[in-house]
Each structure stands twice: as C-alpha cells, then as structure tokens.
Amino acid sequence: MSEPPAPPRFSLRQLAYFVAIAEAGTLTEAAERLHISQPAVSLALNDLERALKVQLCVRRKAHGVTLTPSGTSLLVRARRLLREAEELEAEASGGGALTGVLSLGCYVTLAPTVLPPLLQGFASLHPEVTVDFAEDTQDVLQRRLLRGELDLAVLYDMDLMPEMERTVLFSVRPHILLPADHPMAGLTEVSLRALEAEPMVLLDAAPSSHHALSLFHRFGVTPRVRHRPTTFETARALIGRGMGYGVLVQRPANDRTYEGMHVVVKEIAEPVREEAVVLAWPRSMRLNRRAQEFVGHCRRNGPAPAS
C-alpha cells in the first residue's frame, strides 16, 4: 500500500496573501485590500518563502515589492490553485447560486457595443457574480490571460496566440469610414485603390493597424497614413472633421462623432473576408464554474454585431 502524499508546508491563505501583494505592489496596499494588518501580510510572505525555500519578492521601502523570477512563476500557479480551491469548495457544498468575481477582458473598440449586452444578460442569470472587466489591446489582453490575471477575453480572431482556445460570437465585414461630405459618400461601395492618394486615419491599436494595412497590401495598394490615433472614437472624430478616411471593423449604430460630426460607412469594393469576434481563454487553463457559465451564456446568446 502506497504512502499517502505529504501535506504541503504552505497554506492557501499564504498563497492568497502573496497574490494580493503581487497585484498591489506594496505590503501596505495589500494589507488594506485584505483588511488585515501589514505585519500579518509580511509574516505570511516570510512563511511562504520559508516553506518553498525560495525568495519570491524583493522588498524596497521606497519602491514597493518586485517579484523575483521564482515569484513571477509562482504567481501564475498560485492564481490557478486558488481558483481550483474555490471551485472545489463550491462543488463540495452542492453548487448553489453562482458567486464570486469573473475577470473579463475586452478589446478596446469592441467594448462599447459587445460588453453591455453580455454583462446585462449574464447578470440577470447570475446576479451574485461580480464581473470585473478590463479594456485593452489584444496583445496585452492575451498576456494577461496567460498570466492568469483574466479568466476570459473578447477579442478579434486576429493574431491570436496558439495557446488560445476560442468560441465565435459573431462575424463582421471590414468597412471604409468617410466624412459625410466626402465626394464618395454617396456611393454604395468604395474601392481601396480609389483612396490610395488620400490621407488615411489609421487606428493604431493592435491588431487593428496590422489588419487594415494587410488589406491594402493584399490588393497592391499603398495607403498614405496621415494620423495614428490609439482610440476608436478619436479616429472617428478625425474622420468626421474630414482629416482622412479609415478602414475599420467595428460598426457602431451611431453615425455621429462626439463633436456631432457625421460619418458614413461604405462597403469595401474588393473581396474582403469577414472577421470573427471570439471569446478566448488559454487552452492550458481549466475554466472555473463562473467562466464556464459565461462561455455557455455567450454561446447561447452572443451579441449581434452593431449595424
């Protein structure tokens, strides 16, 4: 008969305190978030380092806490263990109402139209779940997914890492955005080649810029990029003022900018493919119950693209 495995020399509480320290950046801030004393947090960190026989943090009075390479590695696994422990507790108690925090990321241009219906629908089913969401570019969101900082993220199916699993929410075709008084505003569709000599407003938020430029490259057109805004609404504002045209994927229903300028959507004359909007998560990550329920909700009730 084999010997039972020895219990670990550290506790889940110590791991939770370590994660709080890593996320807060200082012991004092971590203590405030945990509603305990700073010495208690410091003691838990010392005990965890002693149990694991490795230094996890470098502590500097004026600069807070910096994770060592061992600490950075542990942070990912600690988050995973804490999620699994929470799931185990929920399953052992018979399930019941879904509670806790779901961490969701969303690509910046998709957030205004995709997040509200998803969050509202999920909240009606699971009112005791808090959904914390972060808006950022796809490269940043994917790194945060792999670090265990996010459970799920709404992204375009562009430049996704091979480590990502995904489920498609909807697809949408790229379009040209013109100021309302543009000479081609009355056309049904506009060719990319017809815009080659005009100034372009290029949304510079990965992967939008790469995607837009690749469309031109595919048809042998070289655009004249004049402005590179990093936000969707700034791009629309510049276009509305007649400072260039844009090639975008997201289609808000509102045809006005913040300043009240009108913009018009025109189909691209060239044969461009639709782009999928997906819900993504790391293949190596076991989804907790909240994330599983959110994925199921999205598959059943995914938002339609704005038009």
pLDDT at 138 over 90: yes
Provide the residue range defining the domain that includes 182. Answer: 174-273
> Pick from 27, 62, 90: which residue ends a domain?
90
- Model pTM score: 0.73
Location of structure tokens 């693209």: 305
255 and 192 inside one domain: yes
Chain segment 190-235, per-residue pLDDT in tens: 999 999 999 999 999 888 899 999 999 999 999 999 999 999 989 9
pLDDT of residue 37 exceeding 80:
yes
CA dist 189 and 223 (Å) reads 18
Residue with token string 């929920």: 90
Q: Is the Cα torsion angle 187, 193, 197, 201 positive or negative in sign?
A: positive
Q: Are residues 178 and 267 in the same domain?
A: yes
Q: Looking at residue 164, what is its pLDDT?
A: 95
Q: What is the mean pLDDT of residues 83-87?
A: 76
Give how many domains the chain has, as a whole number: 3
| Out of 58-72, 138-152, 215-229, least confident range | 58-72
Phi and psi at 182, nearest 5°, equal -70, 145
CA terminus-to-terminus distance, the chain = 66
Residues 144 and 166 in one domain: yes
**In a shared domain, residues 252 and 216:** yes
280 in the same domain as 239: no
Q: Which two tokens stand for residue 182?
A: 């543009």
| Within-domain flag for 5 | no
CA atoms of 97 and 125, how far apart (whole Å): 10
Domain end marker among 73, 90, 107: 90
Same-domain status, 167 and 284 = yes
Q: Check residues 73 and 267 and name the one with the higher pLDDT.
A: 267
- pLDDT at residue 243 in the model: 96
| Angle of CA points 42, 68, 72, to nearest 5° | 95
Here the tokens at position 47 are 């005990």
Q: Which residue has the tokens 């045209």?
A: 245
Same domain flag for 166 and 281: yes
pLDDT of residue 93: 53
Give the per-residue pLDDT at 307. Answer: 44
- In DSSP notation, 154-222 reads EEESSS--TTEEEEEEEEE--EEEEETTSTTTTSSEE-TGGGTTSEEE---STTHHHHHHHHHHHTT--
Show which of 90, 119, 142 is a domain's final residue: 90
Q: What DSSP character marks residue 245?
A: B
252: domain CATH number is 3.40.190.10
Span 107-126, average pLDDT: 91
- Other residues' Cβ atoms within 10 Å of the Cβ of residue 271: 7
What Rg do the C-alpha atoms of the chain give, in angstroms?
24
pLDDT in tens, 247-300: 999 887 778 877 888 999 999 999 999 999 999 999 988 888 889 999 999 988
Residues 163-192 have a mean pLDDT of 94
Residue 112 lies in a domain: yes
Question: 127 φ, ψ to 5°?
Answer: -65, -20
Task: Please give the residue that has the higher pLDDT: either 306 or 266.
Answer: 266
Q: Is the pLDDT of residue 302 over 50?
A: yes
